[in-house]
Amino acid sequence: MRRALLALVPLIAVLFVSAREPSKSATAPAISPAARDRGVYRLATDAEARWIPFDLTPGNQIRFTMQLDGRDVTAILDTGVSYSLLAKASPALDTAKLVAGGSATAIGGSVALGWMPTRTIALGGLARIGGGVTVADLPAIATGSMSAVDLLVGADMLAGHALDIDYAAKRFRLLRSGRLPFKGETAPLRVSTERSVYESTITLGGRRLAPIVVDTGDGSSVTVTAAGWQAANLTALRTTSAISFGLAGPAVSGLAIVPEIRVGEMVAREAEVRIEPAGGFSQAIGTAGRIGSGFLQNYRVLLDPGARRMVFSRGPKADLPPPRSTSGLLIGIEKDRLKVLHVMRGGPAAAAGWKDGDLICSIDGVPIAADYATSPIAAWSAGAPGRIVTLGLCDGTVRRLELTHFY
């Protein structure tokens, strides 16, 4: 059974919202995180039976439907966000209630936040009365698809309970902390007091790296700082480059396939690792890196910071090698066309002169259709080495690209 290749085709989105001091440029007094109404949480007695179905966005995030103030909203499960975040463009935003809310550290820089009180929020068997959500721009690029979501559900909503994510069945549920609904390999987990997000540790190249943010909203696999990569002494591995998109813009990182990563008792082989440049996002927030949904989706995962553990049960994809690009192009989807978001260092596309921003309208003579992201044609970017792909650009020119291993 061949693993899906979608993680290589669209953009990957990563972001993080942190508790920051109120912005001095705000036109109204900001509500600091300490002063916010946290609301009252209630977990239904039948919560274990209330599975929430989801689909994975092209950027590998868990997307589902929930309720905010009695309205259905689309949401992403994001344990790398400190406070649940509502999109400014969402119909659920009540501008009459919106006040300044400080600022956030995100991929690409800093962003201004608002704050909106809420009456009720509900997902599965969990409900919150009162409280509120942070508010910021949340473009569609954050999911790798053409449609934006309304809400990022963060650690403030999730951390008081256990989160059981069954990636293979595309469903999750919330349980009382301490429950162990399946057997697996365990690793440490906590919600940090410094950043208010889920954190753990990994061992890479025999070196323990900590803290590592466990971020279901990050579509990539594993990300480490430049210092962590050097400490792991894996610099002999061939690397290329990749791009990620966050609330404050894009960020370019290194990319490699490593022989082994350990997360507690669990050993993952041939794992994809991104290497942030010195001074990058992880270093800026005082962490050693992130574990994203691109890694977690290979398992059934229990995240239970109250019990200080996460549990991994291997899924059907867990022992398969990760998909790797053979084209050297990272692509975003724009309706009836593909946009080159990044030309990977050392790849065949770079050697052939491809540029960021090039637009592709057909692959081997087949036009880009609305269902491109889930269609078999999307596998071309990580196809067999030696295959020659004919790519029709939207300006009418045609280019041939020979696929090859390059990292």
In a domain, 323, yes or no: no
Asked if residue 299 and residue 212 are part of one domain, the reply reads yes
Asked if residue 24 and residue 144 are part of one domain, the reply reads yes
Asked if residue 336 and residue 286 are part of one domain, the reply reads no
**C-alpha span between 309 and 299 (Å, rounded):** 15
Q: Which two tokens stand for residue 162?
A: 């256990």
Among 130-144, 327-341, 369-383, which is the least confidently predicted range?
130-144
pLDDT at 109 over 80: no
Asked if residue 118 and residue 22 are part of one domain, the reply reads yes
Q: Tell me, what's the pLDDT at 354? A: 98
Q: Tell me, what's the pLDDT at 25? A: 36
Q: Which two tokens stand for residue 266?
A: 């669990």
Asked if residue 25 and residue 137 are part of one domain, the reply reads yes
| Residue 392, strand partner residues | 362, 398
* Domain that includes residue 125, residue range: 6-164
Work out the pLDDT band at 139, boundaries 50, 70, 90.
confident
Let me know: does 322 contact 292? Beta carbons within 8 Å: no
Residue 33 backbone phi and psi in degrees, to 5:
-55, -35
pLDDT at 26 over 50: no
Work out the pLDDT band at 108, boundaries 50, 70, 90.
low
Work out the pLDDT band at 145, boundaries 50, 70, 90.
low
In a domain, 40, yes or no: yes
pLDDT at 5 over 60: no
Say how many C-beta atoms besides its own lie within 10 A of residue 325's C-beta. Answer: 27
Q: Tell me, what's the pLDDT at 23? A: 36
Work out the pLDDT band at 34, boundaries 50, 70, 90.
low
Average pLDDT over residues 310-324: 93
In a domain, 149, yes or no: yes
Q: Tell me, what's the pLDDT at 32? A: 66
**C-alpha span between 325 and 405 (Å, rounded):** 8
Say how many C-beta atoms besides its own lie within 10 A of residue 308's C-beta. Answer: 13
Q: How far apart are the first and last CA of the chain?
A: 23
Asked if residue 371 and residue 237 are part of one domain, the reply reads no
Q: Tell me, what's the pLDDT at 4? A: 33
Question: Is the pLDDT higher at 111 or at 222?
Answer: 222
Residue 42 backbone phi and psi in degrees, to 5:
-135, 125
Q: Tell me, what's the pLDDT at 8? A: 36
pLDDT at 399 over 60: yes
Asked if residue 126 and residue 17 are part of one domain, the reply reads yes
Share of the chain above pLDDT 90, in %: 75
Asked if residue 101 and residue 31 are part of one domain, the reply reads yes
Asked if residue 238 and residue 158 are part of one domain, the reply reads no
Number of domains, the chain: 3
Q: Tell me, what's the pLDDT at 35? A: 73
Question: Is the pLDDT higher at 17 or at 254?
Answer: 254
3-state SS, one letter per residue, for 174-233? EECCCCCCCCCEEEECEECCCCCCEEEEEEECCEEEEEEEEECCCCCCEEECHHHHHHCC
Q: Tell me, what's the pLDDT at 245? A: 78
44-60 pLDDT, tens digit each = 999 999 999 999 987 88
Asked if residue 138 and residue 10 are part of one domain, the reply reads yes
Q: Which residues contact 95 (CB under 8 A, 6 or more apart)?
A: none
In a domain, 324, yes or no: no
Cis, bond preceding 211 (omega within 30 deg of 0): yes
Closest CA to 169 of 300, 49, 77, 322: 300
Work out the pLDDT band at 390, boundaries 50, 70, 90.
very high
Let me know: does 327 contact 382? Beta carbons within 8 Å: yes
In a domain, 234, yes or no: yes
In a domain, 334, yes or no: yes
pLDDT at 127 over 80: yes
195-227 pLDDT, tens digit each = 999 999 999 999 999 999 999 999 899 999 999
Asked if residue 107 and residue 238 are part of one domain, the reply reads no
pLDDT at 168 over 60: yes
Asked if residue 94 and residue 63 are part of one domain, the reply reads yes
Average pLDDT over residues 342-347: 97
CATH of the domain at 240: 2.40.70.10
In a domain, 322, yes or no: no
pLDDT at 6 over 80: no
**C-alpha span between 337 and 9 (Å, rounded):** 13
Query: From the centroid of its chain, how far is CA 347?
Result: 24
In a domain, 90, yes or no: yes
Among 28-42, 103-117, 244-258, 389-403, which is the least confidently predicted range?
28-42
3-state SS, one letter per residue, for the chain? CCCCCHHHCCCEECCCECCCCCCCCCCCCCCCHHHCCCCEEEECCCHHHCCEECEECCCCCEEEEEEECCEEEEEEECCCECCCEEECCCCCCCHHHCEEEEEEEECCEEEEEEEEECCEEEECCEEEECCEEEEECCCHHHCCCCCCCCEEECHHHHCCCEEEEECCCCEEEEECCCCCCCCCEEEECEECCCCCCEEEEEEECCEEEEEEEEECCCCCCEEECHHHHHHCCCCCCCCEEEEEEECCEEEEEEEEEEEEEEECCEEEEEEEEEECCCCCHHHHCCCCEEEEHHHHCCEEEEEEHHHCEEEEEECCCCCCCCCCCCCCEEEEEECCEEEEEEECCCCHHHHCCCCCCCEEEEECCEECCCCHHHCHHHHHHHCCCCCEEEEEECCCCEEEEECCCCC
Q: Tell me, what's the pLDDT at 112? A: 84
**C-alpha span between 99 and 393 (Å, rounded):** 46
Q: Which two tokens stand for residue 291?
A: 């574990």
CATH of the domain at 370: 2.30.42.10
Average pLDDT over residues 105-130: 89
Mean pLDDT of the chain: 89
Q: Tell me, what's the pLDDT at 3? A: 35
